Amino acid sequence: MGLRVLWTHRHSGGVARGLEPPEGVELRVETDRERALALRDWPEVLVDGGPPEELLDGASLARVVVPYAGLGARLRGYLLARPRLHAHNSHFNDAMVAQHAAALLLAVASRVAAGDRALRRGDWGPPEHGRDGRGLFLRGGKALLLGYGRIAQATAPALAALGLELVAFRRRPEPGADVPQVGPAGLKDALAAADVVVCTLPLTPGTEGLIGAEELAAMKPTAILVNVGRGGVIAEEPLYRALAEGRLFGAGLDVWYVYPGSDEERRSTLPSRFPFHELDNVVMTPHSANDVRGWREAAVRDVFATLAAIARGEERNLVDPAQGY
């Protein structure tokens, strides 16, 4: 009899059903809510990022594995109310998100989206003589990584390859780390010195609104901000105002403030109550940083690695619900 695992996450359930589970794991995949609730007392491990609360009270349940990075606020609350449950997550997409962060940075720095839109209208822009360049050359600049988890660590080599000098912000800086680090007391000075800021932070009570009006005001008007973490880390209205008023060079944003509430709404939902979509200095993507071919299988295989570790009596990718990461 192996580790009993119930997989209810619907976006990856079909892939999980089609793959051989690890040795020592007995896997059931059930993405229908009612049928999953009928199995509530069977699993020792539940795989889902947003399960019904009732599933968390199963008689045998000891662990929840989230098949992606971070904890949603609702699940985090459920877990805090049930300290007997251990939580794990997945970092399968660190290199995928790093690639997307670099793409957003380069698209903003070279004004790719604005140039593409203009040229589709036949507009080559103003004459070259008598004006400075419209893009930014990154080599020799400074990049600030907001957070230094798996995604930021995967992004760092790409930034360094572009000739950027790196520094990372962490709540608890580690002396002697491979990248110099600053803590909360040094955040504003680090923002003021940065030519590029890349946010990979999760949304927790400690990070929500971390970058507000004062922090944005500290940044250079030639700075680029990239957010592939969570939208709420950067205050929505101050960010829009800074971009609309030209107090930042531009932003590449993959994470947002308003999300579709259903599959039908995916075709008609703007990502903010402010018109970021009207700004030429913003490159927007729909929370799709790991939307590459094969991502679902990569996610399932990473969860399988965690389940195999648990079956062997080991821990992998543990999350502290109190911290949110």
Is 228 found in the same domain as 98?
yes
Q: Evaluate whether residue 289 is within a structural domain.
A: no
Q: Evaluate whether residue 325 is within a structural domain.
A: no
Q: Evaluate whether residue 324 is within a structural domain.
A: no
Q: What is the pTM of this model?
A: 0.94
pLDDT tens, position by position, 198-223 = 999 999 999 999 999 999 999 999 99
Q: Evaluate whether residue 125 is within a structural domain.
A: yes
What is the model's pLDDT at position 325? Answer: 85
pLDDT tens, position by position, 11-31 = 999 999 999 999 999 999 999
Is 164 found in the same domain as 312?
no
Q: Is the pLDDT reported for residue 90 higher than 90?
A: yes
Is 263 found in the same domain as 313?
no
Is 204 found in the same domain as 81?
no
Q: Three-state SS across the chain? A: CCEEEEECCHHHHHHHHHCCCCCCEEEEECCCHHHHHHCCCCCCEEECCCCCHHHHHCCCCCEEECCCCCCCHHHHHHHHCCCCCEEECCCCCHHHHHHHHHHHHHHHHCCHHHHHHHHHCCCCCCCCCCCCCCCCCCCCCEEEEECCCHHHHHHHHHHHHCCCEEEEECCCCCCCCCCCEECHHHHHHHHHHCCEEEECCCCCCCCCCCECHHHHHHCCCCCEEEECCCHHHECHHHHHHHHHCCCCCEEEECCCCCCCCCCHHHHCCCCCCCCHHHCCCEEECCCCCCCCCCHHHHHHHHHHHHHHHHHCCCCCCEECCCCCC
Q: Is the pLDDT reported for residue 192 higher than 80?
A: yes
Find the domain containing 13 and state its range.
3-92+294-319
Q: Is the pLDDT reported for residue 175 higher than 90?
A: no
Provide mean pLDDT across the span 284-312.
97
Q: Is the pLDDT reported for residue 250 higher than 90?
A: yes
What is the model's pLDDT at position 57? Answer: 97
% of the chain at pLDDT higher than 70: 99
C-alpha distance from residue 166 to each of 146, 157, 181 (Å)? 11, 10, 9
Q: Is the pLDDT reported for residue 100 higher than 70?
A: yes
Is 231 found in the same domain as 102?
yes
Q: Evaluate whether residue 182 is within a structural domain.
A: yes
Is 119 found in the same domain as 185?
yes
Is 60 found in the same domain as 184?
no
Is 184 found in the same domain as 62?
no
pLDDT tens, position by position, 114-173 = 999 999 999 998 887 667 788 999 999 999 999 999 999 999 999 999 999 999 999 999
What is the model's pLDDT at position 130? Answer: 65
Q: Evaluate whether residue 304 is within a structural domain.
A: yes
Q: Evaluate whether residue 83 is within a structural domain.
A: yes
pLDDT tens, position by position, 267-296 = 999 999 999 999 999 999 999 999 999 999
Expressed in angstroms, the distance from the first to the final Cα of the chain is: 32
Is 274 found in the same domain as 240?
yes
Q: Of 107, 187, 199, give the one whose Cα is nearest residue 151.
A: 199
d(CA 88, CA 41): 20
Is 174 found in the same domain as 223?
yes
Is 116 found in the same domain as 65?
no
% of the chain at pLDDT higher than 90: 92
Q: Is the pLDDT reported for residue 44 higher than 80?
A: yes
Mean pLDDT of all residues belonging to the chain: 96
What is the model's pLDDT at position 176? Answer: 83
Number of domains in the chain: 2
Is 226 found in the same domain as 155?
yes
Kindly give, in sequence order, each residue whose CB lies less than 8 Å from that of residue 38, ignoring residues fewer than 6 positions away. none
What is the model's pLDDT at position 158? Answer: 98
